[in-house]
């Protein structure tokens, strides 16, 4: 992050924020939709309760 801002300055902020936002949104969708459903149907574990069950 420091190197990117050091090289390109504030002009990179919008594109960097959109890129990171897209990446994190895709990851959240994958975790919730795919792994959540697999956890629910294949293992019978409720995804919202999983972190507490560990």
Per the CB < 8 A criterion, the answer to whether 47 and 39 are in contact is yes
Residue 34 CB, nearest approach to other proteins (Å): 5
Please give the residue ranges that form the binding site for other proteins (CB under 8 A).
Answer: 1-15, 18-19, 21-22, 25-26, 29-30, 33-35, 38
Residue 37 CB, nearest approach to other proteins (Å): 9
Which helix (H) or strand (E) segment holds residue 18: the answer is helix 13-29
Per the CB < 8 A criterion, the answer to whether 5 and 20 are in contact is no
Of residues 27 and 49, the one with the C-beta less far from other proteins: 27
């Amino acid at each position: 992050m420091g190197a990117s801002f050091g090289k390109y300055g504030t002009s990179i902020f919008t594109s960097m924020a959109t890129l990171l936002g897209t990446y994190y949104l895709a990851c959240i969708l994958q975790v919730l939709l795919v792994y959540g459903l697999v956890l629910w149907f294949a293992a019978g574990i409720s995804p919202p309760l999983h972190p507490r069950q560990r």
